[in-house]
């Protein structure tokens, strides 16, 4: 049985999937490839179409959507699902915004939608959450979900680069976009956390409701402090269940060497899942790149071929309802260039001067931090979660010890 | 659609699966449970059958085999496959010996066979190898695949116990059988490595052909040496592809703190897979226990329900042929109570005396070690692979430094 496959988009991910299929099973190559830009230089041995109808109005069996524009991606994916087709997508922004509607279309028209490549690129995390954690009760999911940010943090720790230098290097090595904003401000991670939370907990929390602080204000002084404590800083996404609902937050976080996340470096991603049946499961793999992301698309294709669809086990057959996250308390280190910048966020905590920066350690609620995000951004506040790696007193003692150290 | 499910065996794994199905989806509970021993004390609220025909001659849709006797397990599984049924098994000894025959039955009669719980208990490693690594080229698979051995090694390193004390503790905590032989001599791992190699490389290497040295002769002096070098010893299974075929070996191995295997402790298992598309993937999870292993059976059941069968992507549609492993060279530390015991294995390497033991460092071939296994066993030789963590010279220097240290 050969399936007719239509592909939208031929960028980094599309080319990765294409190469894998070509080398391994040409029957899984697309019959039609629709691209947008007629003037882009492309492989001359391939034929491209510029008309989406060549896929949408054609009796193809499986449609693959790998374009960057979320609105257009939604048009293509929803249109294919309305024709009862099998659809594969990697568009995390689009999926995160539209999963409830897309699931309804899937149910109504009998198609199926797979999207392994939309989170943690080469790690089969969505399929594992959906299938291997069936019948399980997940209490916590924690992960490093953005390859660019992790690459940048790795450079800060290993090569003593500044953030700007590290971003430039990430771009040169193909781990960050020309406009790296969505990567370094954590927005990309919040899309993924929304998608993963639906599979892990059966709860749909729009990404805009998640406390999201990226790596954009991590300072060389933070790196020096973490190093002096034997710790690293990673951009950690957390979703944790409590009696009322889900706590969700994404922010730079201290990680100790007894945590498997400590060894996740460069463009690698990871996810740690705590559940009733399985204890702690840990997955680590490449979180960016043409082949790793293309491999997840290819794997989805082999699943679609067999008729595999997500079971959304944690929804228990119920319709998706939109929920808000619960507020959680976080112990954080906050630092800035001036003491005034700290006041709106730190409450009554005392301010310490060291390494040419002003520091406070405070317990803050995620809801409060969300309200203060404009001030945090305006004042370039650096916020790093303690993550139970170390006591407030020990951090304070180290900050005070560093007072004479000069950070360039 | 409700499937009629028949279950053989109601031990630790069977009870784990039963509990998960009962709590989550009673439709996945077995209609019939066949057990062997009429006199065993069992849950009185459940009905048991003692006649295998109650499943084998019945129009059940899915048969689950979770008994311990490999010969009987083969009878049940092959008989179910001959009726074209969907079958789930966790019997690694049986599978490792009979996979070629069982795959033929699957193909001939149109049934399907899933066995996620047979390797690394709670880690979805077989499904991931089969599906997520489709279209990929795996060059190396390395893992900690026996929960009991890893628990025992953890106790040696964390609590300074003797091997005998650690084995006793493992038994008390339910991580080792009353007869722990198959766990501590590595035999259990070799079954798993045969199964995983079929999925990872499309090659069937009978477990008896794999160099297998367990943890039975790891000595307190080895632990002291590894600790003094900042390393740990783990029982590592390795399958590595070269131009000719596969190198396979299982033996106690030094692991450094830059390797994610370093943090795998207690009954946890792990697998590290290096491939062309995905770089290095790492999986870690519980490798023993009723719920983790039962969860893999339950996950297989949800897959069987959807008609999912393994694709054996690496076989490329070819029939299984039995292969022998390629010989590989290993740098190893060999130690014993007497210098005479070392001579047959170490070639021309020099012998050093330290900590009341005799030591040599030598590069040996796996084929040579297999020949010497009876002598290794008779002389209780301890053999630990260096695994590129450290140079021979540095190990030697540390052994010589330890000469005055007294190991009780």
Of A141-145, A367-371, B55-59, give the lowest mean pLDDT range.
B55-59
Q: Is B287 on the interface with A (CB under 8 A)?
A: no
Reply yes or no on whether the pLDDT at B380 is more than 80.
Answer: yes
Question: Residue A334: pLDDT band by 50, 70, 90 thresholds?
Answer: very high
Asked if the Cβ–Cβ distance from A281 to B284 is below 8 Å, we say: yes
Name the minimum distance, in Å, from the CA of A133 to any CA of chain B: 7
Question: Residue B378: pLDDT band by 50, 70, 90 thresholds?
Answer: very high
Name the minimum distance, in Å, from the CA of A381 to any CA of chain B: 32
Average pLDDT on A298-312 reads 94
Whole-number pLDDT of residue B89: 98
Mean pLDDT of chain A: 94
Do the strands A211-212 and A138-144 form a parallel or antiparallel pair, or are they unpaired?
unpaired
Which string of DSSP letters, residue by residue, matches B308-331? -----GGGTTPPP-B-PPBP-EEE
Do the strands A138-144 and A232-241 form a parallel or antiparallel pair, or are they unpaired?
antiparallel
Rounded Cα distance, B173 and B150, in Å: 13
Of A130-134, A358-362, B345-349, give the lowest mean pLDDT range.
B345-349
Whole-number pLDDT of residue A146: 97
- DSSP H or E run through A271: strand A268-275
Asked if the Cβ–Cβ distance from B276 to A292 is below 8 Å, we say: no
CATH architecture classification, B329-404: 2-Layer Sandwich (3.30)
Of A305-319, A393-407, B72-86, B355-369, give the lowest mean pLDDT range.
A393-407
DSSP one-letter code for B406: P
Whole-number pLDDT of residue B408: 43
Name the minimum distance, in Å, from the CA of A145 to any CA of chain B: 15
For an interface test with B, give the residue of A299, A302, A306 to mutate (most B CBs within 10 A).
Answer: A299
Reply yes or no on whether the pLDDT at A350 is more than 50.
Answer: yes
Q: Is A22 on the interface with B (CB under 8 A)?
A: no
Average pLDDT on B184-193 reads 96
Active-site residue, from A93, A192, A232, A241: A192
Minimal Cβ distance to B295: which of A277, A296, A303: A277
- What chain A residue is nearest to B309 in terms of C-alpha separation? A306
Give B121-152 pLDDT, tens digit per residue.
Answer: 999 999 999 999 999 999 999 999 999 999 99
Asked if the Cβ–Cβ distance from A307 to B306 is below 8 Å, we say: yes
The interface predicted TM-score of the complex, written ipTM, equals: 0.94
B283 to chain A: which residues are within 8 Å by CB?
Answer: 281-284
Whole-number pLDDT of residue B403: 66
Reply yes or no on whether the pLDDT at A243 is more than 90.
Answer: no
CATH architecture classification, A5-114: 3-Layer(aba) Sandwich (3.40)
- What chain B residue is nearest to A295 in terms of C-alpha separation? B277
Q: Which fold has domain B125-286+307-315?
A: Dihydrodipicolinate Reductase; domain 2 (3.30.360)
| Portion 104-123 of B in contact with A at CB < 8 A | 116, 122-123
Rounded Cα distance, A96 and A89, in Å: 12
- What chain A residue is nearest to B274 in terms of C-alpha separation? A285
Whole-number pLDDT of residue B313: 93
Give B50-101 pLDDT, tens digit per residue.
Answer: 999 999 997 789 999 999 999 999 999 999 999 999 999 999 999 999 999 9
Average pLDDT on B173-186 reads 87
Average pLDDT on B278-284 reads 98
Reply yes or no on whether the pLDDT at B242 is more than 80.
Answer: yes
Whole-number pLDDT of residue A345: 87
Average pLDDT on A78-99 reads 98
Rounded Cα distance, A7 and B151, in Å: 49
Asked if the Cβ–Cβ distance from A124 to B128 is below 8 Å, we say: yes
Reply yes or no on whether the pLDDT at B247 is more than 80.
Answer: yes
Q: On the CB side of A275, how many CA atoms lie within 13 Å of its CA?
A: 28
Whole-number pLDDT of residue A404: 53
B292 to chain A: which residues are within 8 Å by CB?
Answer: 277-279
Name the minimum distance, in Å, from the CA of B406 to any CA of chain A: 30
- What chain B residue is nearest to A26 in terms of C-alpha separation? B135
Q: Is B62 on the interface with A (CB under 8 A)?
A: no
Reply yes or no on whether the pLDDT at B404 is more than 90.
Answer: no
Average pLDDT on B3-20 reads 96
Residues 6+ apart with CB under 8 A from A51: A34
Name the minimum distance, in Å, from the CA of B189 to any CA of chain A: 20
Catalytic, A92? Answer no
Reply yes or no on whether the pLDDT at A407 is more than 50.
Answer: no
Give A159-202 pLDDT, tens digit per residue.
Answer: 999 999 999 999 998 888 778 888 999 999 999 999 999 999 99
B18 to chain A: which residues are within 8 Å by CB?
Answer: none
Q: Is B299 on the interface with A (CB under 8 A)?
A: yes
Asked if the Cβ–Cβ distance from B123 to A25 is below 8 Å, we say: no
Domain boundaries, chain A: 5-114
Give A24-55 pLDDT, tens digit per residue.
Answer: 999 999 999 999 988 888 888 899 999 999 99
Average pLDDT on B266-274 reads 97
Whole-number pLDDT of residue A29: 97
Q: Is B182 on the interface with A (CB under 8 A)?
A: no
Average pLDDT on A323-335 reads 95
Asked if the Cβ–Cβ distance from B134 to A313 is below 8 Å, we say: no
Mean pLDDT of chain B: 94
B311 to chain A: which residues are within 8 Å by CB?
Answer: 302, 306
Residue B121 to residues A276, A403, A407, B226, B399: CA-CA distances in angstroms?
A: 15, 51, 49, 28, 37
Active-site residue, from B192, B234, B286, B303: B192
Whole-number pLDDT of residue B226: 97
Inter-residue long-range contacts of B178-186, CB under 8 Å, 24+ positions, other chains counted: B180/B148, B183/B146, B183/B148, B183/B149, B183/B214, B184/B148, B184/B149, B184/B152, B184/B214, B184/B215, B184/B216, B185/B212, B185/B214, B185/B216, B186/B146, B186/B149, B186/B212, B186/B213, B186/B214, B186/B215, B186/B235, B186/B250, B186/B251
Question: Residue B119: pLDDT band by 50, 70, 90 thresholds?
Answer: very high
DSSP one-letter code for B152: H
Q: Is B265 on the interface with A (CB under 8 A)?
A: no
Residue A308 to residues A2, A101, B25, B306: CA-CA distances in angstroms?
A: 16, 20, 20, 7
Closest CA to B132 of A87, A308, A196, A77: A308
């Amino acid at each position: 049985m050969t399936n007719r496959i239509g592909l939208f988009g031929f960028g980094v991910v599309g080319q990765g999937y294409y190469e894998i299929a070509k080398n391994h099973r040409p029957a899984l190559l697309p019959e039609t490839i629709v691209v947008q830009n007629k003037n882009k230089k492309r492989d001359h041995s391939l034929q491209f179409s510029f008309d989406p109808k060549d896929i949408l109005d054609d009796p193809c069996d499986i449609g693959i959507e790998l374009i960057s524009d979320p609105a257009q991606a939604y048009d293509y994916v929803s249109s294919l699902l309305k024709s009862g087709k099998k659809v594969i997508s990697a568009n995390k922004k689009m999926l995160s915004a539209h999963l409830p509607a897309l699931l309804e279309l899937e149910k109504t028209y009998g198609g199926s939608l797979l999207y392994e490549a939309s989170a943690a690129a080469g790690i089969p995390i969505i399929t594992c959450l959906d299938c291997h954690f069936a019948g399980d009760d997940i209490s916590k999911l924690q992960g490093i979900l953005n390859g660019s940010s992790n690459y940048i943090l790795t450079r800060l720790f290993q090569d003593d680069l500044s953030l700007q230098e590290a971003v430039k290097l990430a771009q040169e090595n193909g781990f960050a976009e020309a406009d790296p904003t969505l990567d370094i401000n954590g927005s990309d991670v919040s899309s993924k956390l929304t998608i993963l939370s639906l599979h892990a907990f059966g709860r749909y929390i729009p990404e805009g409701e998640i406390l999201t602080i990226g790596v954009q204000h991590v300072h060389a002084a933070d790196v020096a402090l973490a190093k002096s404590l034997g710790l690293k800083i990673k951009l950690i996404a957390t979703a944790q269940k409590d009696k009322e609902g889900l706590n969700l937050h994404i922010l730079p976080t201290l990680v100790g060497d007894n945590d498997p996340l400590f060894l996740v470096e460069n463009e690698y991603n990871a996810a740690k899942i705590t559940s009733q049946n399985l204890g702690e499961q840990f997955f680590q793999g490449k979180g960016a790149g043409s082949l790793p992301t293309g491999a997840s698309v290819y794997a989805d294709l082999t699943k679609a071929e067999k008729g595999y669809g997500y079971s959304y086990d944690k929804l228990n057959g119920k319709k998706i309802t939109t929920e808000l996250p619960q507020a959680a308390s976080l112990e954080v280190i906050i630092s800035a260039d001036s003491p005034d910048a700290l006041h709106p966020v730190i409450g009554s905590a005392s301010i310490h001067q060291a390494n040419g920066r002003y520091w406070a350690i405070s317990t803050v609620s995620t809801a409060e931090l969300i309200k203060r995000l404009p001030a945090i951004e305006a004042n370039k506040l650096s916020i790093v979660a303690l993550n139970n790696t170390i006591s407030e007193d020990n951090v304070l003692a180290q900050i005070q010890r560093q007072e004479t150290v000069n950070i360039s």
